[in-house]
Amino acid sequence: MSVSTRASLQDAEHIIETARAMADAARAETLPRFRTALGVDNKRDGVDGAGFDPVTEADREAEVAMRAVLEERRPQDGVHGEELGRAEGMSGLTWVIDPVDGTRAFLIGAPVWGTLIAAVAEDGPLFGIIDQPWTGERWEGGLGHANLASPHGTADLGVRGTRALDGALLCTTFPEVGTEAERAAFVRVAERARLVRYGMDCYAYGLLAAGHVDLVIEAGLHAYDICAPIAVVEAAGGIVTNWEGGPAHAGGRAVAAATAELHAAALDLLRG
């Protein structure tokens, strides 16, 4: 059966097992380096000299480790990672991975970064993991799974039922969000929300899927920033689209919402 629609039962189990093995491999590289005196490079050096886009040994080695798992278990699949780029496969399935989503948080010792792993078909993510090694939390979504495993046990995921913006808890990563126009659009939503929190990186999507927040709005994303969160949030019953209401798995601007009503209200304001 084509992965562009639905993975076969046998292949689905292999996809899930592979994703978990990749998350374990990444943990082995990131966790020993977290809250240590870690060197950092700026990806913007030699490009335009502006801004700070950090990358560390943890980012690089975790992606190497994840790719090694893929090469052993599913060499026919493609892979698209933040640090080592894209390699085409032959199966129609591509693994979209971010070894450390939230490197800035990683650098300051804040446990809101995570490893993102998504098995993606042509029409979008089939399965995703958001893994936070320091807290021991692992969100899984897709292929019949919607659960959070942590040191406190395993729980089913499920979004909140908030329908009105005045009751919504909203998260994003950067206060500036994106361009000036995108920032203005975000503010229109933020002014109506009950509460706004910044600097959450991928952790915000996990909180949404677990029923703790209602909205996540971001801009300037790459595919590796959003594919895993899409799988997790949608498996929990939420909605993730771009700001126009279309697919978001290619990156760009994304809005993740707990309910259809909240999603529609946010889109109206984002569109101006």
- What one-character-per-residue DSSP string does 107-135 give? HHT-TT-EEEEEEEETTEEEEEEEEETTT
78 pairs with which residues across the strands?
Answer: 94
Q: Provide the b/e sequence for 142-160 (b: ≥16 CB within 10 Å).
A: bbebbbbeeeeeeeebebb
The terminus-to-terminus CA distance of the chain in angstroms comes to 42
Q: How open is the CA angle 198-199-204, to the nearest 5 degrees? A: 85
DSSP 191: T
Q: How far is CA 93 from the centre of its chain?
A: 18
Under 8 Å between Cβ of 124 and 249:
yes
d(CA 133, CA 114): 7
pLDDT at 7: 61
d(CA 30, CA 253): 28
Under 8 Å between Cβ of 69 and 25:
yes
Closest CA to 29 of 61, 73, 77, 1: 61
Tokens (6 digits) for 58: 């943890």
Stated as kind and residue range, the H or E segment containing 154 is strand 153-156
Tokens (6 digits) for 144: 């019949």
Tokens (6 digits) for 202: 């991928």
- pTM above the 0.85 mark? yes
pLDDT at 10: 77
pLDDT at 54: 81
Under 8 Å between Cβ of 105 and 113:
yes
pLDDT at 1: 35
Under 8 Å between Cβ of 218 and 200:
no
Q: How far is CA 17 from CA 21, 143, 156, 201, 233, in A?
A: 6, 12, 19, 25, 20
Stated as kind and residue range, the H or E segment containing 104 is helix 103-108
- For the chain, state the CA radius of gyration: 18
pLDDT in tens, the chain (272 residues): 344 445 677 799 999 999 999 999 999 999 999 999 888 788 666 555 556 678 899 999 999 999 999 999 999 999 999 999 999 999 999 999 999 999 999 999 999 999 999 999 999 999 999 999 999 999 999 999 999 999 999 999 999 999 999 999 999 998 888 899 999 999 999 999 999 999 999 999 999 999 999 999 999 999 999 999 999 999 999 999 999 999 999 999 999 999 999 999 999 999 98
pLDDT at 40: 78
